[in-house]
Structure 1
């Protein structure tokens, strides 16, 4: 007979955190993360990871620190790093700035844009194109990239005209691009544009 395994009361929260960021909207998991914060942090600490809770923006995530030079056997990476191309980085920076502006002028917690609004913002950074419909098709690619990595979340889908799709810009973007990183990326993008 198999011995019965005692499951920790915060096991579901740990699994959700391993799947990706957890937002305050997920009320039960959020309550468990806050209530069992010490135990969850201890669990992740044993496997070389950190629990990061950003209450003001309403999300929690797990971070795997870079291996130190003094480590004899660095741990394998659980989470893959994903490099973004120029277009996706440009869009992420624009959305990050938009989120900052939204926070200053609004008391809302969720920031939404339609696909058309996103394309109109990023279109300004492209040289004049004679084929506007091709440009707009191309501008869908960075939106898809940010959707796949969880920075954008499809909130409302329009099956007739995709430009009417509405996306929520997830607050995890602030963790990926903090203010210091934002300035650094903006300088690199400006340098890249000048070298073209």
Structure 2
């Protein structure tokens, strides 16, 4: 028996299972051409394709089960892990940078240097005056953000990072405002704590 030929959009399906696809990916055009059958394919297994054509990215999402539905819920494709405070702070700061970049009518992509990222994080990571420890901590947070798909190190530029637009989908404007307010409250509480 001859093996069945793969679907013409099999590459796209496999790429989406591994993470987001961006407009600079070689499979982006194929995703646009076969978007409907790709959505139908994933719909059959309980996944949704989140497609942001104007922003230039797409990714898979598994909706939460409907509490009214009596059928057995599908197992999660990926485990959900809450983010720690410091990586959440970095994500909020990066999302705010994206908002400002979009409001400025700038074109292209938002690129931040590691120094700019350190400057953004400085008020939130004040744990003594150990500069080397601070740098290592920021490097660790940047690495986490890269693993989450929110930052991408530019090829040949170890000190520069593209802020990926998927962050807009993961942290919408309303959530951003709420998180910024919570960060302000935490900072105020930290600043007003009694000295040791």
TM-score of the superposed pair, with normalisation by structure 2 = 0.88
Distance in 2 (alpha carbons) for counterparts of 1:47 and 1:187 = 38
Alignment partner of 1:181 out of 155, 170, 175: 175
Distance 2:124 2:74 in 1: 41
Q: Which residue of 2 aligns with 1:72?
A: 71
Q: 2:56 aligns with which of 41, 48, 58?
A: 58
Please give the alpha-carbon distance, in whole angstroms, between the structure 2 residues aligned to 1:111 and 1:82: 27
Cα deviation, residue 139, structure 1: 2.1
Q: Number of residue pairs matched? A: 189
Of 142, 163, 170, the match for 2:164: 170
Distance 1:64 1:86, change over 3 A: same
State the 1:8 CA deviation: 1.2
RMSD between aligned alpha carbons?
Answer: 1.8
Structure 1 residues 18 and 128: CA distance shift in structure 2, 3 A? closer
Separation of aligned partners in 2, 1:77 and 1:98: 32
Worse-superposed segment, 4-13 or 87-96? 4-13
Contact 1:157 1:165 in 2 (8 A): no
Show the counterpart of 2:39: 41
Unaligned runs of 5+ in 2: 191-196
**Aligned equivalents of 2:168, 2:54: Cα separation in 1:** 11
Assess if the C-alpha contact under 8 Å between 2:95 and 2:167 holds in 1: yes
